[in-house]
Amino acid sequence: MKDLTQGSIPKHLINMALPMMIGMFIQTLYFIVDLYFVGKLGAAALAGLSLAGNAMFLIFALTQILNVSTAALISHAVGAKDREDANLTFNQSMMLSTVTGLVVCIIGYVGAEAYLNLISQDLATVQMGLTYLHWFIPCMALQFVMVSISSALRGTGIVKPTMIIQTLSILVNILLSPILIAGWGSGYAMGIAGAGLASSISVVFAVILLCYYFKTAEKYVSVDFSLWRVDTARIKKLLAIGLPAGGEFFLMFVYMGTIYWLIQPFGADAQAGFGLGSRIMQSLFLPAMAIAFAAPAIAGQNFGAKNYQRVRETFTWSAIMTCSLMAILTLACLSQAEWMVQAFSNDQEVLLISVVFLQLICWNFVPSGLVFTCSGMFQSLGNTMPALFSTATRLITFILPALWLSQQEDFQIEQLWYVSVTTVCIQAGVSFYLLRREFNKRLPQGESSSENLANENL
* Number of CB atoms found within 10 A of residue 80's CB: 15
Q: Which of 53-67, 122-136, 170-184, 400-414 has the lowest mean pLDDT?
A: 53-67
- Whether 75 is covered by a domain: the verdict is yes
Distance, CA of 25 to CA of 48 (rounded, Å):
25
Using the predicted structure, report yes or no on whether residue 17 has a pLDDT greater than 80: no
Q: Do the beta carbons of residue 15 and residue 92 sit within 8 Å?
A: no
- Please name the amino acid found at residue 432: F
Residue 28 within any structural domain of the chain: yes
Name the DSSP letter for residue 121: -
Q: What is the extent of the structural domain holding 171? A: 11-453
For residue 10, give the nearest of 439, 454, 458, 318 by alpha carbon: 318
Confidence band for 3, pLDDT divided at 50, 70 and 90: low
What DSSP line would sit under 390-415, residue for residue?
Answer: HHHHHHHHHHHHHHHHHTSTT--HHH
Q: Can you give the pLDDT at residue 200?
A: 92
Q: How far apart are CA 260 and CA 250, in angstroms?
A: 15
The stretch 268-285 carries a mean pLDDT of 86
Helix 123-155 vs helix 43-79: angle between axes, to the nearest 10 degrees? Answer: 20
Residue 2 within a domain: no
State the pLDDT at residue 457.
37
Name the pLDDT band for 450 (thresholds 50, 70, 90).
very low
Tell me whether residue 1 is in a domain: no
pLDDT at 24: 65
In angstroms, the Cα distances linking 330 to 281, 344, 365, 452 are 10, 21, 6, 38
Q: Which of 400, 396, 393, 401 lies closest to 432 in space, CA to CA? A: 393
DSSP per residue, 71-120: HHHHHHHHHTT-HHHHHHHHHHHHHHHHHHHHHHHHHHHHHHHHHHHHH-
Whether 397 is covered by a domain: the verdict is yes
CA atoms of 376 and 371, how far apart (whole Å): 9
Residue 330 pLDDT: 96
**Residue 218 — pLDDT band, cuts 50, 70, 90?**
low
In a domain, 407, yes or no: yes
In the chain, what's the furthest Cα-to-Cα distance?
69
The residue type at 279? R
* Number of domains within the chain: 1
Across residues 364-370, what is the average pLDDT? Answer: 94
pLDDT tens, residue by residue, 309-348: 888 888 999 999 899 999 999 999 999 999 988 888 888 8
Residue 437: the pLDDT is 92
**What is the Cα–Cα distance from 193 to 129, expressed in whole angstroms?**
9
| Best-predicted range by mean pLDDT (72-86, 176-190, 397-411) | 397-411
What is the model's pLDDT at position 99?
A: 93
Does 331 reside within a domain? yes
Sign of CA dihedral 223, 224, 230, 231: negative
